[in-house]
Each structure stands twice: as structure tokens, then as C-alpha cells.
Chain A
Amino acid sequence: GDSVTQMEGPVTLSEEAFLTINCTYTATGYPSLFWYVQYPGEGLQLLLKATKADDKGSNKGFEATYRKETTSFHLEKGSVQVSDSAVYFCALSVRTGGFKTIFGAGTRLFVKA
């Protein structure tokens, strides 16, 4: 079945460090891929998305590229800030036989000043 696997956290970085959070997926159709972010005490919100192979999603300095050959959608940011501390969820959605979204387990990021 469809699934999403992302690296376990927590990830702890110093401010201005480079961030990578790995995400791989398994899907039978042609999924769209997403990164959602959850700040403390809030619901998830869309960070970025890509709907087809080789697309790059970007927002707020974060980027991820849809790699069909490696079934991956790794999240990167060149220089993290304390305000980036949150939980990050990788997800896929497919429209075969209806609409379905599968979320990864989430990766908690702590950024130290």
C-alpha cells in the first residue's frame, strides 16, 4: 500500500546550520507530495508541495524536489532560524479511487540560538 517514511527525530541544530530531513514514499499511482509544518499548539499547515516528477517546491527558504527515480522528497534549508523549530510532516496524496492523503510520522526540529 501507499506509505511515507521520514527520518526520526528529534533533530537539533544551531542557528544558521544546514537542514535536511529525509522523506521517501511508496505509491501505486502518481502522487502529489507535500511538506506540512506544525508549530507548538497549532494545527498542521502546508509548507510546500510538488505535483509531478522533478518539480521543486519552495517556501520560506525551504525546498524539496520530487525525485521519482529515488521515490524521495527530502526537505532542505540552507540556514535555519530559531523560529523554524517545529514538527515537519512529509505527506503524499493520490486521487485513484477517491482522494487519499498519507502522512509520515513527523520529525521534530529544535534550533538553538
Chain B
Amino acid sequence: DAGVIQSPRHEVTEMGQEVTLRCKPISGHDYLFWYRQTMMRGLELLIYFNNNVPIDDSGMPEDRFSAKMPNASFSTLKIQPSEPRDSAVYFCASGPLAGGPASTDTQYFGPGTRLTVL
């Protein structure tokens, strides 16, 4: 398996522009997570899905952020409009295995998208 795939790897945009980050999870995983990582705030969970349904979006900073998972193999995180304070590395992760025991509760992270908003 190719692992979790994220695109783009780097994104530089100007304040006010719309940004869309993409994620392809590992096939067979029930859960998909979006995280944001900054030096100041560390690793933050933004939202997670179970079987394509959003379960907990309490970490989404504000209405400018939205996430969708139209099918089991694709998810997007959108920021509209973007602001400089959104600059961070955004990670997508998937896991655990569908129907697996607790011993399989591992999250598999993608390489991240480094977002810079000027």
C-alpha cells in the first residue's frame, strides 16, 4: 500500500484566497483525521470522520474551515478565506482497520501539507 497520500505537499497563497488540501487514506481504514501542527500550538486535531461521516469537528478553528469526505478514498480540508495565522503543516491520518481489535488502533499519517499564507 502507498500509505496516506496528501496533496499538495507545499502551498503558498495570499491572504483571502481559498485553499483546498486533499487526502487519500489507506484502503480499508474506518477513520480519517485532519490535524494541524504549529510550533506555538503543537499538534491539534481539527476533525475526524468514521465511515465518511464527520464525528467530531470541535477542533475546527472557525467557520472558515470546512472538511468533507465524499467517499471512503478521498477527503478535503478547505480554508476560505485564508489568513496568515492559518500557516501551518496540515496532516491527514487514517486508521484503525475496519472491525479490527484494539491492538490495531494505530494512526497512519501522511507526509503533510505545508501551508504558507502571505
Chain A residues numbered 67-103 whose CB sits less than 8 Å from any CB in chain B: 89, 93, 95, 98-99, 101, 103
Partner of A98, one of B55, B93, B110: B55
The contact string, 1 if C-beta is below 8 Å from chain A, for chain B 76-118, is 0000000000000001010010000011011111111000000
Q: How many of chain A's residues touch chain B, expressed as a range?
A: 10 to 19
For B, the interface residue count at a CB cutoff of 8 angstroms equals: 22
Q: Given A43-B91, A43-B110, A43-B111, A106–B43 Cβ distance below 8 Å?
A: yes
CB neighbours of B43 from chain A (8 A): 44, 89, 103, 105-106
A44 to B30 alpha-carbon distance, docked (Å): 19
A52 to B96 alpha-carbon distance, docked (Å): 17
CB neighbours of A46 from chain B (8 A): 106-108
A60 to B55 alpha-carbon distance, docked (Å): 35
CB neighbours of B61 from chain A (8 A): none
Residues of B within 8 A of A (CB): 4, 30-31, 33, 42-43, 45, 50, 55, 91, 93, 96, 102-103, 105-112
